Structure 1
Amino acid sequence: MLFRQRWHLELRHLRYFVAVAEARSLKLAAEEKLHTTQPSLSRQIRDLEDEVGTPLFVRGAKGVELTPAGRVFLDHARIMLSQAEAAVQSARQIAYPTKPSFALGFMIGHDTTWLPEALKLLRDELPNIHVVISTQNSPQLAAALLHGGIDVAFLRREDGSSDLDFRTLVEEPFEVFMPSNHPFAARKTISLQEIAGETFISVSGTALSISGKQPALRRAIDRFLNDNGIEIRPSHEVDNLGGVMSLIASTGGIALLPLYAKTFLPDTVTTRPLEGVGPKIDLSVGYRKANPSPVLKLFLSRVNELAAKIPR
């Protein structure tokens, strides 16, 4: 066997890893986020890399950068931490139901934009409410809504169930994502016809899809290409944006992605607008129609106000 599975990962390893990835510095993560010593944090990161079986960071004079494996691992680490926190909060709520509970879901990358205002809205109206936060990919959020795991989510209009309803918040334009040293990076805009001759990387059409149908993001990309008479078969498909960024850097390929994907942008990847009118994809508030929560009713009544507070 090439690899020996040990499975000794602990949640603290994931918290330390995410803190270092976000700070891009062991020193800053140790002192400002984790309140520990840098040698201790370095040891924990080495232990994690030993468990995973591959380096997750590249150390340099200016700090640390995620390796391609590290960028993929970051997406999953955030999801695991979010799910662990949701599990703890849900168990506490059942054991000690002293406050009304409301579960919010956010797409990875959109939580930093929408979470603060959403929480402020709820705290202003219901200061004693118990809020549970879940950060996942859009198809997973749709499944959680259907199963009652969350009350409302900021996600795409995922296909597959008439039990969900959606209210559009914004429509996000797409840009072309490419290696920073790609010849297209010298351009101000890029034509769709030029993309057809490049290695094309796309979001997987099946991964993470609970309904068995394509995720909304993949459908939007394919529909735009088809409407413009461009036939492109992706050279690579991946189920998360961190993986897309890694493939762009490693293969020299390009991808069409919404602007919010810049949240995951490493130094080796850059973006340029498309020429003409490009595709757009919605970010919506989704909820289960049969959910009787009075908090949900209040939240939905303030959605337009919430959307107006977010800068475009």
Structure 2
Amino acid sequence: MDFIIKNNHKSNYTIIYNKFIQDKNLNLELLGLGCRLLNKPSNWVININQLSYEMNISKDKLLRLINNLIELGYMYRHKKEIAFVRKGELKNIYYFSDDKELLNKTTEPFRSVDTTPQLHLSTFPTVDSPSMDTAPLDIPVAVTPNMEDTSHNNTNIYKDIIEKEDIHKKNTVLTNNLSIRTYLKEILDDFTIVNLLNAKPDLTIDEFKILYEKATIEFKNGYCTNINSCIVKAASGKWNFRPTLLNSSDNSETRTNRVLKGKVNYYIDYFSIGSCSKDEILGKFLNECQKYDEYLVKLHYNELKKKLES
């Protein structure tokens, strides 16, 4: 009598390497994440936001699991060397395989570049491009990444600008104030730091915290499209924050629900055209809704997923 009942499906199944399943270093959570990834198409871009929603776990926990798989040799993180990330653009590209040797062979061209094998969990919200003049680009995440594309590899250009600005500011107060620079480097990119300190050379940490908090509220309420840009403009006196009303949270939630509902209807129509798969539609939705309340996004994400599957 069989106690483990196996099926004989000839379609809609996933192949998993036995050596991966039998690896004693993998706990149930790591095996579950691995199986979930193997169930995806080979050209599916590993999207942290989408996986956390699908697996019903926090982003921090998902990143810790990914770190473990990287340490055990089943995942590889390729960091694209770009000065700043535009909206929707992936700076970290992840590769996964249930065969370590196959993963090493596939990612060998990238391993010549020094990359940090660990992901750093930030305590601050993700910020968009620090560009002051260029509008953020909505770039779909659920596509096959072209690793040879260096169109955004502008690190050297902005490095020269930053070095020139630092030399020009060497006699200012903040040149010797290492604490504020060290603090900002944990949150902002170098290009934004230069613009911010040029706008307000006597900026203090407490003042920055207030600016960051207000800019985040502006971003969540849809008044600005870029937190970094908003902070710099506010520091230079070119941005006036909107007053916080007593019922602002209720108004904000109502407005957010209305916006998300509209996006759900839009992507249902988009899916009906047949130009994108279900996973691609869900990925586009999550990527476009990062600035909204996570709980509300999850509710509308589940609604969209249910309608796509019906």
Do they superpose with TM above 0.5? no
Q: Relative to total residues, which structure has the larger strand share, 1 or 2?
A: 1
TM-score by length of 1: 0.24
Higher relative contact order (CA 8 A, sep 6+): 1
TM-score by length of 2: 0.24
Structure 1 or 2, whichever has the larger Rg, is 2
